[in-house]
């Protein structure tokens, strides 16, 4: 490809079941990727809407879309038209995608060929609620922007450093040969956080750190010297912490009970585990932490209590894995914005010597522990899209 010129851009896509999130990055003269716009097409099939802001948060679009925007391909067509209107004449240098599952084969970002796409399709059973949409977006780009190179960045890759014992699924070994192991997820978020630790908290870069990615999906990652040694998510994105609509860790006997005693079908069980449980299932009100914190119903309180309880319990477990803890970092929607949840998780983890500075916590950090705290505690906003843009640029030789 000829050298990028001033207005050329790279596109980052994060495609889900009902939304297509996107970021547009431009390469600066110093060779760094700079965000130019971010937005999303949400409500696909229900009440589709396009919204976008520039890098300073100024609104660029807020449009209701036709009801015909009913799948990823239609959403990508809308985005391509919007990009042409805003960036007409500039080239799309490459498209980087968030892809949830890379299995045992894709341990780092990969340029997508038809063969790679075929192999990623085989992983759909391991991430049935995410992978199909990620791959549909890749296919739509192949169709709509033929010739534009695409890069898949995986949520699992960052955890390829997990020791064998942490990756084990304790079933008969023969059964595990087909890829039954603990992979870990939210790796792009953890990679970003790990990349800024040397700058923000150099004393932690060689240390034992637990990162709490608390969003609609939630997990903890144990970092030793910046490398992932364990993650609370495992074979699928169901394990570990209580999430917006997912159970988190569950006695597998419960799943047997749903099948054998309640006679539910596998589709019903899948839907319960992924979409109807967690904060939503416990509260019966909402999967959204903000809503729950504002409510007075006992079940809303119970859902929040359970979320905090599970997080603190898992912090204890990962502290044991690490043999101690030097730093705790909060990130993602809840971790970055909810002083109340951070306070409560830190309070439950005070036995580790964690002391929070209330004022710094209320201001969302970056450092929220008091000078007396044995463990330094931080809030670091994650930036998965930036990690994808960086990998896309590197793999495509754009800088
Ligand atoms: P995802 O990217 O997985 O959809 P996010 O990282 O955006 O999720 O996190 C969404 C969650 O963050 C929601 O539960 C939302 O209520 C919560 N959240 C965002 N802001 C706040 C806030 N100020 N207080 C409490 N929770 C918040």
CATH of the domain at 117: 3.30.420.40
Phi then psi dihedrals of residue 355, to 5 deg: -125, 125
For 320-334, how does the pLDDT look when each residue is reduced to its tens digit (9 = 90+)?
A: 999 999 999 999 999
Distances (CA, A) of 392 to 10, 27, 73, 251, 397: 8, 12, 22, 40, 8
Output the pLDDT for position 5: 61
CA–CA separation, 266 and 76 (whole Å): 31
- Could you tell me the distance, in angstroms and rounded to a whole number, from the CA of residue 290 to the centre of ligand 1? 7
Q: Which residue carries 């390829």 as its tokens?
A: 160
Does any ligand 1 atom lie closer than 6 A to the CB of residue 364?
no
Does any ligand 1 atom lie closer than 6 A to the CB of residue 217?
yes
**3-state DSSP assignment of residue 163:** coil
- Could you tell me the distance, in angstroms and rounded to a whole number, from the CA of residue 284 to the centre of ligand 1? 18
Q: Is 159 contained in some domain?
A: no
- Could you tell me the distance, in angstroms and rounded to a whole number, from the CA of residue 244 to the centre of ligand 1? 9
Q: Is 187 contained in some domain?
A: no
Q: Is 340 contained in some domain?
A: yes
Residue nearest to atom 19 of ligand 1 (CA): 333
Does any ligand 1 atom lie closer than 6 A to the CB of residue 215?
yes
Query: 223 and 342, same structural domain?
Result: yes
Query: 323 and 207, same structural domain?
Result: yes
**Domain extent for 265:** 203-384
Mean pLDDT across 303-311:
98
| Sheet with strand 59-64: strands edge to edge | 59-64, 49-54, 33-42, 20-27, 9-15, 92-99, 150-154, 110-111
- Could you tell me the distance, in angstroms and rounded to a whole number, from the CA of residue 334 to the centre of ligand 1? 5
Among 18, 216, 342, 363, name the best residue to mutate to test ligand 1's pocket (greatest count of ligand atoms within 8 A of Cβ): 216
Phi then psi dihedrals of residue 360, to 5 deg: -65, -35
The yes-or-no verdict on residue 220 having pLDDT over 80 is: yes
Which residues are tagged catalytic? 155
Query: 242 and 358, same structural domain?
Result: yes
Output the pLDDT for position 298: 98
| Sheet with strand 208-214: strands edge to edge | 227-231, 218-224, 208-214, 327-331, 376-379
Query: 132 and 267, same structural domain?
Result: no
- Domain end position, chosen among 154, 171, 194: 154
Q: Is 285 contained in some domain?
A: yes
Does any ligand 1 atom lie closer than 6 A to the CB of residue 373?
no
Q: Is 197 contained in some domain?
A: no
Total domains, the chain = 2
Output the pLDDT for position 397: 86
For 170-193, how does the pLDDT look when each residue is reduced to its tens digit (9 = 90+)?
A: 999 999 988 899 999 999 999 999
């Amino acid at each position: 490809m000829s050298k990028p010129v001033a207005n050329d851009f790279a596109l980052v896509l994060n495609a889900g079941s009902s939304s297509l999130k996107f970021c547009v990055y431009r390469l600066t003269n110093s060779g760094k990727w700079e965000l130019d716009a971010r937005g999303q097409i949400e409500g696909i099939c229900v009440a589709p809407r396009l919204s976008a802001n520039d890098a300073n948060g100024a609104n660029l679009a807020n449009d209701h879309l036709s009801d015909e925007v009913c799948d990823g391909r239609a959403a990508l067509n809308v985005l391509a038209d919007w990009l042409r209107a805003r960036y007409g004449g500039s080239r799309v240098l490459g498209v980087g995608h968030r892809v949830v599952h890379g299995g045992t084969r894709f341990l780092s970002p990969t340029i997508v060929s038809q063969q790679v796409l075929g192999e990623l399709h085989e992983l759909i059973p391991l991430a049935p609620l995410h992978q199909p949409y990620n791959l549909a977006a890749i296919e739509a780009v192949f169709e709509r922007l033929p010739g534009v190179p695409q890069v898949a960045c995986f949520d699992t890759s960052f955890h390829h450093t997990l020791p064998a014992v942490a990756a084990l699924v304790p079933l008969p070994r023969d059964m595990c040969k087909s890829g039954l192991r603990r992979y870990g997820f939210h790796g792009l978020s953890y990679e970003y956080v790990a990349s800024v630790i040397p700058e923000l908290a150099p004393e932690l870069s060689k240390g034992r750190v637990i990162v709490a990615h608390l969003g609609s999906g939630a997990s903890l990652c144990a970092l030793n010297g910046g490398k992932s040694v364990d993650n609370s998510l495992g074979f699928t994105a169901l394990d570990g912490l209580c999430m917006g609509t997912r159970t988190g860790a569950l006695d597998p006997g419960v799943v047997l009970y749903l099948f054998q005693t309640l006679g539910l079908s596998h589709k019903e069980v899948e839907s319960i585990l992924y979409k109807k449980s967690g904060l939503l299932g416990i509260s019966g009100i909402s999967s959204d932490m903000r809503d729950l914190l504002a409510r007075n119903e006992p079940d809303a309180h119970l859902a929040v209590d359970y979320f905090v309880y599970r997080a603190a319990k898992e912090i204890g477990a990962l502290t044991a894995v690490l043999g101690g803890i030097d730093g705790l970092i909060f990130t993602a929607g809840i971790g970055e914005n909810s002083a109340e949840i951070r306070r409560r998780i830190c309070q439950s983890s005070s036995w580790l010597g964690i002391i929070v500075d209330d004022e710094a916590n209320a201001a969302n950090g970056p450092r929220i522990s008091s000078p007396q705290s044995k463990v330094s505690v931080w809030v670091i906003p994650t930036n998965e899209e930036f990690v994808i843009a960086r990998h896309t640029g590197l793999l495509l030789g754009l800088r």
